[in-house]
Amino acid sequence: MSAIPVTIGRRVPVSAASADVGVSAAAGVAAPAATIGAPLVDTHGRVHRDLRISLTDRCSLRCTYCMPEQGNEWLAKSSIVSLDEIVRIARVAAADGITTFRLTGGEPLLRADIVEVVRRLAAITGPGGRPVEIAMTTNGIRLAELLPGLVDAGLDRLNISIDTLRRDRFHALTRRDRLDDVLAGIAAAAASGLRPVKLNAVAMRDVNDDELVDLVEFATGHDAQMRFIEQMPLDAGHTWDRSRMVTQDEILATLRGRWTLTPVPGRGGAPAARWLLDGGPHSVGVIASVTAPFCGDCDRLRLTADGQLRNCLFSATEYDLLPILRGGGEDGQVDGMLRSCVHGKLPGHAINDPSFLQPVRGMNAIGG
């Protein structure tokens, strides 16, 4: 069974996998031998603690910056990782020091067994019996209905995406008239005991950049933290245009027209830099992946809904777990694949390099 990384566009058939666990052909250098229980440290010293698990590439919305309106090529149903397969990977990852599982997609709430996924993952413990944290990033649709069950199952934290508060804009941006469902989901999150609730918006020029202050006020009114994301080249249509991107500096300049912003220290591996609004307690975050990359502190790995490990959103290489999971492989081989993936991680994402090539998968199929 193999730890063969696959460069996208030249996918190796499942049956072509070989037997050397822990060898990264991408780097051309042997990864450390598999040892379940050792931390996942890459060649740049970064310790990995966060595994983002994409549960599906399907979605109830069609956000312009993420998915095409039509013509999606969905992942084959037979390749979607089952609940048992997810739990098996997560157990090994937790033993290797992963402390947070973030469920994402596509839209994670579309997965029929979502409550069971949360329940089974929440029962996993790391070394010394340390509990894991279960977080979710969702578009909020169906959240109002599902939240009690998710909290009961062990969900710890929620990020909900909302790019606009205006119904016509929401419809145009997501190609679906579902703003009311998202607002109901946010209201349910605010009424729940989960804290902090984070709201995510991709800032877009001439689309929602006149709503930044309104979005922050909406968030604080729900005791939530607003976070603005710089738009990244991850849309399925490959239409990203750097010159039209709203930058962190522009976002902060707009917000400074309304609040005094004080930087919050101690960001650690978090993607968002934060500022207190008028001294607090509320704060706003900016995820400046393009103009202020935070790769040096990245502690994240990703598992796609079809069982591919990725060490970066922008990586061109994937590490296929399906042959191990479905071919009678052992946990040590899952561990070996995690280590190969970590070992192959580059120091940074190179979006700003002229030779940068956008990943073939859209954001919905990678897992945000």
Which is closer to ligand SF4, CB of 64 or CB of 283? Answer: 64
Q: Which residues bind ligand SAM (CB under 6 A)?
A: 59, 65-66, 104-105, 107, 137-139, 161, 200, 202, 229, 231-232, 234-235, 363-364, 368
Distance, CA of 24 to CA of 17 (rounded, Å)? 13
Stretch that binds ligand SF4, among 26-34, 59-67, 108-116, 150-158 (CB under 6 A): 59-67
> What is the distance between the alpha carbons of residues 199 and 201, in angstroms, rounded to a whole number?
7
Total interface residues for ligand SF4 by CB under 6 A: 13
Cα separation of 146 and 68, whole Å? 27
If one asks whether residue 66 binds ligand SF4 (CB under 6 A), the answer comes out as yes
Task: Out of 139, 248, 311, 315, point to the residue binding ligand SF4 (CB under 6 A).
Answer: 139
Bridge pairing between strands 50-54 and 300-303: parallel
The least distance separating ligand SF4 from the CB of residue 54, rounded to whole angstroms, comes to 9
x/- site string to ligand SF4, residues 307 to 346, per CB under 6 A?
Answer: ----------------------------------------
Binding flag, residue 62, ligand SF4 (CB under 6 A): yes
Helix (H) or strand (E) holding 250: helix 248-256
The alpha carbon of residue 354 and the mean position of all alpha carbons in its chain are separated, in whole angstroms, by: 25
Residue nearest to ligand SAM (CB): 368
Quick one: angle between helices 114-122 and 83-95, nearest 10?
A: 30
Q: What is the Cα–Cα distance from 28 to 23, expressed in whole angstroms?
A: 8
Span 148-177, contacts to ligand SF4 by CB under 6 A:
161
Only one of the segments 90-98, 105-113, 119-127, 220-228 lies at the binding site for ligand SF4 (rule: CB under 6 A); that segment is 105-113
Q: How far is the CB of 76 from ligand SAM (least distance, A)?
A: 20
Q: Collect contacts of 212-217 with beta carbons under 8 A, ≥24 apart.
A: 212/251, 212/254, 212/255, 213/254, 213/255, 213/257, 213/258, 214/165, 215/162, 215/164, 215/165, 216/255, 216/258, 216/259, 216/277, 216/284
Question: Which entry of ligand SF4, ligand SAM, none binds 313, CB below 5 to 8 A by partner kind?
Answer: none
**Partner touching 67 among ligand SAM, ligand SF4, none, CB below 5 to 8 Å by kind:** ligand SF4
Give the three-state DSSP class for 176.
Answer: coil
Smallest separation, CB 29 to ligand SF4 (Å): 35
The residues binding ligand SF4 (CB under 6 A) are: 59, 61-63, 66-67, 105-107, 139, 161, 363-364
